[in-house]
Amino acid sequence: MSSISLRAINKSYDGTTPVLHDVSMDIEDGEFIVIVGPSGCGKSTLLRLIAGLEQCQDGEILIAGERANEQLPQHRDIAMIFQNYALYPHLTVRENIAFGLELRKVPKKERNARALEVARTLQLERYLDRKPGALSGGQRQRVAMGRAIARNTSTFLMDEPLSNLDNALRVAMRTEIKALHRQLGATIIYVTHDQTEALSLADRIAVMKDGYLQQFDTPEAIYDQP
């Protein structure tokens, strides 16, 4: 089980200016949640709190029913995928995909087998020996996803993962991410400022504004109102 609950989260970076106000949400195991809202409304901050990369002043984060506020990022069953991909330029695709496993001391043979398996899922087998500099934007994004998938985590956090891609590729990658979600049965929490993206991906959409969670409901309930 990997349900995630946020209970009355308040967050400020400087101790005076609030960036998140009393945010509460319950995310079910296997849901595709999209957090949508204008730049600066607190989407990335919320994601980084769930990842354990930021701490909140008050409120509680529950992962699989257990308080996780003090749990280190590497001890959470969560993988984060960044907008800039955060790939290691001097490592091959295989090594980039296997990186998280190396940190966890998985033996090399096992790492390479897992990297191959993941590369097949993402149609990257032909590129395993290349470095990120020799890949297209879409391929780099797939490698970043591969690195997250390789670890077998049950929750993926994605912060504007498609915003550096051109429009056609963005639409294609959306379909891939949706298919991947079905295939992995994982929970995905996905941040975007793009409403079309939110509509096409989400089981439920969290609408944020100025640090407040304004709505949290299905796309139909949010956008089909008379």
**How many other β-carbons are positioned within 10 Å of the β-carbon of residue 16?**
6
Query: Within 126-155, which residues bind ligand ADP (CB under 6 A)?
Result: 147
Q: Does 30 help bind ligand ADP (rule: CB under 6 A)?
A: no
Q: Does 40 help bind ligand ADP (rule: CB under 6 A)?
A: yes
Q: Closest separation between CB of residue 45 and ligand ADP, Å? A: 3
Specify the residue, 30 or 42, whose C-beta has the smaller distance to ligand ADP: 42
Distances (CA, A) of 52 to 48, 182, 199: 6, 26, 27
Q: Does 85 help bind ligand ADP (rule: CB under 6 A)?
A: no
Specify the residue, 13 or 175, whose C-beta has the smaller distance to ligand ADP: 13
Pick the closest to residue 38 from 189, 192, 212, 218 (CA basis): 192
| DSSP string for residues in 161-224 | TTTTS-HHHHHHHHHHHHHHHHHHT-EEEEEES-HHHHHHH-SEEEEEETTEEEEEE-HHHHH-
Q: Which stretch binds ligand ADP (CB under 6 A): 38-46, 131-139, 181-189, 214-222?
A: 38-46
Q: Closest separation between CB of residue 125 and ligand ADP, Å? A: 21
In angstroms, the CA 76 to CA 13 distance is 22
Q: Does 90 help bind ligand ADP (rule: CB under 6 A)?
A: no
Task: Point out which residues bind ligand ADP (CB under 6 A).
Answer: 13, 19, 37, 39-45, 82, 86, 99-100, 103, 147
